[in-house]
Amino acid sequence: MFKPEKFGHDQLIPTASLLFFSTSSDNVMNTFSKRLFLLVTLAVANQELTAMPPPEPPLLNFEQVNYHHRWSKDSQHEYTPQGQEDLNHWSNMITINRYEKATDGEGLAAVANAVLENYKSHEAMVLKTDSVPRTPTQPAEYLIVVLFPRPEYIEAVFARFKLLSGTGCAMIYSHRENGKKAGNEMSAWLQKNGPQVEQHLMAWAPAL
């Protein structure tokens, strides 16, 4: 019957065994240290990536004015110029709406008609509707211009509907006049700026 050898307190482990044990221990410790360093490095990098804020949406430039991103929800994004950060009190706004289900000309036309009916249901005064005819390389585009009279302000809305990268997109410019005399001020603003805003909007090609 095999009996395992027992070392007494006064017995010494051979030098070669000590050397092997020491070398093996150093290798294990080095491997452990490297793995620990790698894990710590990855953890710190992950923490830094997690702590990094999401990239800011790009500025939009419309009629030589920079519009800064202020608010987003789902597929709707709102931009206003410098000094108009308060979305309860603004004069000019760009709104970008995406319609992922509108992937062709018919889908885009359905979106434009639905938006027009929605505007009407909110007591909009329709000033103009127009379209850019379809070409062999480009689907049709649509334009809606309305006014929203409210007791405290009047808002003019210019909405252009276009397929961008294969999905429907609405690029909307809005202007507000506030106060009791907003009607007269809006009439003057439309007469002076309306055609220019429409022309610029229909030719606008922002990087979205």
In this predicted model, what pLDDT tens digit does every residue of 58-97 receive, in sequence order? 789 999 999 999 999 999 999 999 999 999 999 999 999 9
Is residue 181 domain-shared with residue 81, that is, in the same domain? yes
More confident residue, 92 or 16: 92
Q: Which helix (H) or strand (E) holds 122?
A: none
Categorize the per-residue pLDDT at 111 as very low, low, confident or very high, splitting at 50, 70 and 90: very high
What CATH number is attached to the domain comprising 173? 3.40.1000
Residue 91, Cβ density class (10 Å: 0-12 exposed, 13-18 middle, ≥19 buried): middle
Is residue 98 domain-shared with residue 28, that is, in the same domain? no
Is residue 39 domain-shared with residue 66, that is, in the same domain? no
Specify the range with the lowest mean pLDDT, choosing from 56-60, 99-103, 187-191.
56-60
Is residue 97 domain-shared with residue 140, that is, in the same domain? yes
Is residue 70 domain-shared with residue 141, that is, in the same domain? yes
More confident residue, 188 or 31: 188
Find the mean pLDDT for residues 22-35.
55
Number of domains in the chain: 2
Is residue 26 domain-shared with residue 77, that is, in the same domain? no
Is residue 121 domain-shared with residue 158, that is, in the same domain? yes
Is residue 30 domain-shared with residue 77, that is, in the same domain? no
Find the mean pLDDT for residues 96-108.
96
Full domain range(s) for residue 117: 60-203
Mean pLDDT of the chain: 83
Integer CA distances (angstroms), 175 to 51, 159, 178, 186, 190, in order: 37, 12, 10, 9, 10
